[in-house]
Structure 1
């Protein structure tokens, strides 16, 4: 299956739209959305969600499979994590999606219940002639210095020292980053903050940051994982960051990264799983950050992705339908997730999540599911 990077993806009953904040270019034309980045309600039946582009490939597959199995529609719009949080708070969708977990304070303040669906990985991708996937090696400090604008050419000694056997051009590096508020950006910048004190001080970690290379010809912005992938595909000597499914399904050249244990690792189910060895029960709203984990095999920029639902929904039937979909996902969606290189949640974590769904109640205070 090839993940299309065109204006919209419709799988089964799922519609995709990419939209967000201001950007330097518009490689993706939004569908089922308006200019302000507000997700549109589905016109007929089903449930609607909006948010992170990180999990869009698996949400698309799950929606198609669920429609085939149950005859029920799920409409999901990829508008970025910030957009997903905004829409669930505005109660214009049945569920929001974010890769940057909300704190307990924010969940309580806005009356939300949060739970994870799968674990994946953010991967740097490059477009350099002759460089095959996984051949280019980078460590955290070098990656941070590229995005800080301190390393400006692929022939820089720091990159060559890590890649003595790779033929790298004496060419200017173009950095590609997200124009919209993005959980993928949060996890990427969270990692850079962990490995680079200078990045932490000057830029920090957030859904949206002031990119040091955003001015001039050194950088360009794209909407969603789709937009970043599209730019890297078309701009020679560029580097960007996307969820691994976008890189793999489009045969893009990803980077091998040096992890906290000092090992160069490739993105895979195994390295994502190694990063996810954590105590989920200890985190309110399951809000674990999985970047820069110490396991010897851990991918350095692993991430869970999360769903947000109203604890006291206005429409209990829609809330029940939403949780029923994710209950089906937990029962029947693991194989599809693995095929797209996402790590399914362990059975004990799924049990904890199902218990947390009791917080979603109707007008009489009874659990909707």
Structure 2
């Protein structure tokens, strides 16, 4: 048994129960995370005949549904405050790492070629910079040929964790953005911005629109072949979103040291750190039906123990082992209606 998981098992290794009829788990939320949970579901389907029905309706819907007890779990790319979740009787933990990445469609521009910083990005998304040949952009890209094109904004129309994380970053980088737009799962974008639903919608719209800039999760950059930008990080370095730069952002965080998943992984220190990192999270009602809770626990334990290949193939970044241990500890807080923990021994 792996050391990182042992702490989550203490007190939970009771006798195995009898066979459980195949169940269909229900979930809703992050469109970006849908492929990951689909891959993890293959494991429980193989081992017990259980299945997962996942509605990729966006992070805001995932949070709302989990808090209302309407699904077995909600999926989100940004967490509400811990006090809010406690009041709603919900526990939360990450399952993988990802990042929010600005992507562009400019003729002749290759991935990672264009460099931006937080202040300039805020001006672009607020509509204050409307041309790619704006002096502020050219000053950051003195050795690059930036095409002269009107900027066309592509943003999310639905309540999105990616929007929350991006706008939180922009609020930290720009007082003007914070005062006029703020951070949230939805914000009031400039009226001329193209608003689409889902990660796939943003990716498709950016690819189809010359001069476009949008924002997607790291996985969409990889899977859709999008042209990403570099961003100046807290160390003053132009970072590129990658497995290593995303991982670097979490290594010195409270996720690793305390299991405090409330901490936002934005503009973390480190020469290589990508400045807009987040987890993809699940929210689970703390009290569950016995049979469903056992299946749900199995789903996530199998995912943590054997799911790293699925995490990578879904273009997410695996949690460091110590963070997996903290997440498993959160999962161990689930109880059935008699106050008993769920079985977490499947191997």
**Which string of whole-angstrom CA distances, capped at 9 and with x for unpartnered residues, describes residues 76-127 of structure 1?**
2211111001111232211001112122211121110111101111100111
Q: 8 Å contact 2:167–2:183 — kept in the other structure?
A: yes
Q: Is the 8 A contact 1:57 1:245 kept in 2?
A: no
Deviation at 1:352, TM superposition (A): 2.4
Aligned to 1:139: 117
- 2:57 and 2:74 map into 1 onto residues whose CA distance is 10
Partner of 1:168: 146
Query: How far 1:359 moved relative to its partner?
Result: 2.3
The answer for the alignment partner of 1:105 in structure 2 is 83
Q: TM-score, normalised by structure 1?
A: 0.82
1:232 aligns with 2:210: no
Once the two structures are superposed, the pairs formed by residues 251-270 of structure 1 within 5 Å of their partners are 251-270=225-244
Q: Which has the larger radius of gyration?
A: 2
Q: Please give the TM-score of this superposition, normalised by the length of structure 2.
A: 0.87
State the structure with bigger RCO (CA 8 A, min sep 6), 1 or 2. Answer: 2
Indicate which of 329, 339, 346 corresponds to 1:365.
Answer: 339
Q: CA deviation at 1:265?
A: 1.1
| Cα distance change of structure 1 residues 171 and 236 upon mapping to structure 2, 3 Å threshold | same
Q: Which runs of 5+ in 2 are unaligned?
A: 1-21
Query: Aligned partners of 2:267, 2:116: CA distance in 1, in Å?
Result: 14
* Inter-partner Cα distance in structure 1 for 2:176 and 2:59: 26
Aligned 1:1-369 pairs, distance under 5 A:
45-68=23-46, 71-211=49-189, 213=190, 215-216=191-192, 219-277=193-251, 278-280=253-255, 286-313=261-288, 315-369=289-343
Matched positions, count: 321
- Is the contact between residue 85 and residue 91 of structure 2 (CA under 8 Å) also seen in structure 1? yes
Q: Provide the rounded CA distance (Å) in 1 between the counterparts of 2:47 and 2:341.
A: 25
Deviation at 1:348, TM superposition (A): 2.4
Shift of 1:283: 6.2
Q: Give me the whole-angstrom Cα distance separating, in 2, the residues matched to 1:89 and 1:100.
A: 14
Q: Give CA deviations for 1:10-33 in whole Å, capped at 9, x if unaligned.
A: xxxxxxxxxxxxxxxxxxxxxxxx
Deviations 1:163-202 (A, max 9, x none): 2333333221111111111111010001111111111111
Residue by residue over 1:129-181, the C-alpha shift from the partner in whole angstroms, topping out at 9 and shown as x without a partner, is 11111111111111111011111001111111222333333221111111111
Tell me how far apart the structure 2 counterparts of residues 191 and 57 of structure 1 sit (CA, whole Å).
Answer: 26
In 1, the alpha carbon distance for the partners of 2:256 and 2:175 equals: 30
Partner Cα separation in structure 1 for residue 42 and residue 230 of structure 2: 33
Q: Contact 2:254–2:261 (CA<8 Å) still a contact in 1? A: no
Q: Secondary structure at the match of 1:176?
A: strand
The alignment partner of 1:193 has SS state of helix
Helix, strand or coil at the partner of 2:186 = coil
Point out where structure 1 has 5 or more consecutive residues left out of the alignment: 1-43
Q: Over the residues paired in the alignment, what is the CA RMSD in angstroms?
A: 1.8
